A and B are shown apart, each in its own frame.
Chain A
Amino acid sequence: MTDPARAQPPVRTDKLTKVFDGVTAVDGITFDIHTGEVFGVLGPNGSGKTTTIRMLCGLLTPTSGSATVAGFDVLTQSEEIRRNIGYMSQKFGMYDDLTVAENLDFYSSLYGLAGQEKKERMYELFDDLGLRPRINQLVGTLSGGWKQRISLACAIAHHPAVLFLDEPTAGVDPAARRRFWDTIYGLAKAGTTILVTTHYMDEAARCQRIAFLSRGHLIAIGTAEEVTRQFGKATIEDVFIELQERDEGVTV
């Protein structure tokens, strides 16, 4: 964020493609995400959302095309990328047999925090995310909403420049979802760039821009208004269904 050499957007993809055993999961998608933007990626299951995120995080190697995250190339600088991003995977990734505090302590340490700095950051996160009452509870015994909070805490412990959230609110109650989005907005306001995938249309409407994926194709991109106007629909949900049907009609 402070690097003057980094004039390019925090996330940029160019014809990014991933093929698994002859099946194209992500098919030449190109987009930019701006600093401090909340960028939503929508699409049905199997549309390539998770594969895209995994390529951007360095967990998968793209088959072709290129991408940069926080100014670093996903093909050659994945270690630099790892230091500058936060990631919440779709599958809950915390250790069930560690407490909330132990999980956060572990991940903070992995992101290079130590001593007093680490301790202060941990308590800051406990307060910001309302985790205080649960810090000594084993993570495996927490309910969905609490699990989501500790995951987020671990993902942002190091103030990452870019935050990737893969269906972060799946299986979480509405009140917890609202609180989660408040936190997300707070982070974006502070300059964190956020890419979030979701199934929920109300959440899609909260994103500054959205991208539609279907069968690995990027089929629309823009603000909610732009996208609905472009397709002459009333809601994002209508657009979603229309685009998905059209894409399937073309490819079938």
Chain B
Amino acid sequence: MTGTRKRKSLLVPMLRKEFIQMRRDRLTFALMIGIPIIQLILFGYAIRTEVRNLPTVVLDESRTEQSRSLVSVMEQTQNFKIVGAALSRNEVRDWMESGRARAAIVIPPEFERDIKQHKTAHAQVIVDAADPLASSAAIGGAALAASVRATALVDPHSTRPQPLDVRVRPWYNPALRSSVYIVPGIIGVLLSLTLLAIMSIAIVREREKGTFEQLVVTPISKTDIMLGKVLPFVVVGYVQMACILILGRVLFNIPIRGSVTLLFVISLGFIVANLGIGLLVSTMVKTQIQAIQLGIFFLMPNILLSGFMFPREAMPRVAQWISYALPLTYYLTVLRGILLKGIGIDHLWHETLILAAFATALIVVSVNRFSKTVS
């Protein structure tokens, strides 16, 4: 054999090898799919129990049959759990600030009088909206209770105004967020978490086992090695995503208002970007333990600053700047936009381009950093 043989892509044999190994390593494959599913269930149920039983304090200044009925209907929605009674507004504030109550039902003295006089009776639900889930649970519960009570009170022949008005006043975070806000974000976080880890470990493991040295001494180009490693995990990423979506829909009623096809297309950029970070990690470390540690280091800002848990608008400026450097920040917009609002590409092309740019840049940088030598 001479050195003049034409260079051709060796991606196909590389891919074939990777898929055979993946097929054989059933445990790892099961974990790649199983871990996100288990985490989704844990996350999802934790969130659900939380919004269902908001510890609630009651300030009943009316002290009438009507006010007590309203409170009991509120409690029946299971969104509120009455944990105490307050005697004044100050006491309500005390309960809320200490965190013993996350919501308060305030019924004014004129409540029953207004109902009797066929005026609109007002009641108020105050909610600790620092947790956006709590506030939406309160809104939901209050609206439900109000309509239940109103139906009971209404006289079908009368033309009087609506009998009940239960207003929700969000405290601490007036910019209300919907309860489903966090759930679609789980897709992004779980994809980040698993893809980053499995990608970096896959490369570092070959290096640790010694197969890497045998591989890089062959004519295969580093681009083919990297793509051969990345592409099978893109498939894994999509399988994970489909599983989480289906499960999220079945178990947690995540709405899917927009185009799933569009979501899958835009997700390519996000999946590859995370694999790119995994690749980058693999070029910086020597052992699998180091890979995991560095992976966690990359993951923390993603969870804390991307807007997954806490609204970015409320963050200090520096944290906001960092959030602009995280693919998850943009992907969350895409997920919430498509799943919750049902918006299309005309509102998301900005995020799509940024994710594609992240993916390209990370892969290019990793391939360049990757060296076909051993040290």
Contact A110 B373 (CB under 8 A): no
Q: How far is the CA of A159 from the CA of B5 in the complex (A)?
A: 13
| A2–B209 alpha-carbon span in the complex (Å) | 36
Nearest Cβ distance between residue B227 and chain A, in whole angstroms? Answer: 14
Which of A70, A82, A159 contacts B218, CB < 8 Å?
Answer: A82
Q: Check A94–B219 contact: CB distance below 8 A.
A: no
CB–CB A91/B210 < 8 A = yes
CB B204 to nearest CB in A, in angstroms, measures 15
Give Cα A57–Cα B218 distance, bound, in whole angstroms: 10
Complex alpha-carbon distance, A160 and B217, angstroms: 12
For B12-36 the 0/1 string (1 means CB < 8 A from A) is 1110110011001100000000000
With A3-B2, A92-B210: A112-B13 Cβ-Cβ less than 8 Å = no
How would residues 47 to 89 of chain A score, 1 for a CB under 8 Å from any chain B CB and 0 otherwise? 0000000100111110000000011100000111011110101
Decide: A98 and B17 in contact? CB cutoff 8 A.
Answer: yes
> Does B3 lie within 8 Å of A72, measured CB to CB?
yes
Please determine whether B13 and A109 come into contact, CB atoms closer than 8 angstroms. Answer: yes
Using a Cβ–Cβ cut-off of 8 Å, how many residues does chain B contribute to the interface with A?
A: 31
Residues in B with CB closer than 8 Å to A87 are: 214, 217
B212: nearest chain-A partner, CB-CB: A93
| B371 CB to nearest chain A CB (Å) | 9
Q: Does B10 lie at the interface of the complex (its beta carbon under 8 Å from any beta carbon of A)?
A: yes
Interface assignment of B47: CB less than 8 Å from any CB of chain A: no
B25 A160 Cβ-Cβ under 8 A: no
Across the interface, B2 reaches (CB within 8 A) one of A2, A54, A57, namely A2
A57 & B25 in contact (Cβ 8 Å cutoff): no
Interfacial chain A residues near B189, Cβ < 8 Å: none
Report yes or no: A110 in contact with B10, Cβ–Cβ below 8 A: yes
The answer to whether B372 has its CB under 8 Å from any CB of chain A is yes
Main secondary structure on A side of the interface with B = loop
**Is residue B247 within 8 Å, beta carbon to beta carbon, of the partner chain?**
no
Cβ-based interface call for B50 (8 A)? no
Contact assessment for A110 and B210 in the assembled complex, using a CB-CB cutoff below 8 Å: no
Nearest Cβ distance between residue B23 and chain A, in whole angstroms? 10
Chain A residues near B14: list those with CB within 8 A. 110
Pair B17/A160 contact, Cβ less than 8 Å: no
A 137-173 binary contact with B (CB < 8 Å = 1; else 0) = 0000000000000010010001111000000000000
**Complex contact A111–B219 (CB within 8 A):** yes
Among B21, B211, B215, B217, the residue within 8 A (CB) of A58 is: B217
Binding site for B on A (CB under 8 A): 1-3, 54, 57-61, 70-72, 78-80, 82-85, 87, 89, 91-98, 102, 105-107, 109-112, 151, 154, 158-161
Add 8 more A-B contacts to A59-B374, A60-B375 (CB < 8 A). Answer: A3-B3, A58-B373, A82-B218, A83-B3, A97-B25, A110-B220, A111-B219, A151-B214
Pick 9 A–B contacts, CB within 8 A, sort by A.
A58-B217, A84-B2, A84-B3, A98-B21, A102-B17, A105-B13, A109-B13, A111-B1, A161-B1
